[in-house]
Amino acid sequence: MSSAEVAAIVVAACEDDELPEKIAGGVLTYQQIPLRRFTKLPEETRFAYVRRTLRDKRASDLGLYVLSAALTRRQADLISSFLEAVKLPHDGPSLSTEGAIPAPAPRTLARAVDALLRVHDARDVALYLHAFASQPDVDWPVLVDLLDADERLAFEDRSAT
């Protein structure tokens, strides 16, 4: 993801009052920066540490949490449409089930993805579906195969921008 995309995701996620503290805690932990030093850094430097932390493989759980929070806030219609199409219990953009998430039939999944792509920007759909497939309770090989095979869902690396 580009720095601008990461920044937009962090801003959206931080609409949740608890998230800035979680992000800051992650930065302090993964970048091994004392709180006193971090608070004295210029804002742009702190943002650079946040971006670096969210891209760090060791902080993948934090990154997924931040991405999920941002998507839930900014892509509620997309998420609700997908969850409805694959017949998963949900309350708006939030699943209302615990534990392993049962995979839909391959044809149902393909139709749901096609419907999303007709209505929403392909990058947004790809971002959401990749994040969904990364959830620990999701074991949907058909979705992973679809993400790998469908060019519309390609999620190219924009980290250099």
pLDDT band at 51 (very low <50, low <70, confident <90, very high): confident
Cβ within 8 Å of residue 12, ≥6 positions away: 69, 70, 73, 74
Q: Rg of the chain's alpha carbons, rounded to an integer?
A: 17
- According to the model, what pLDDT value does residue 82 have? 96
pLDDT band at 158 (very low <50, low <70, confident <90, very high): low
Tokens 């991405």 belong to 67
**Domain coordinates in residue numbering, the chain:** 3-72, 76-153
User: What is this structure's pTM?
Assistant: 0.80
pLDDT band at 86 (very low <50, low <70, confident <90, very high): very high
Tokens 């091994």 belong to 32
Mean pLDDT of 100-115: 95
62 or 4: whose pLDDT is higher? 62
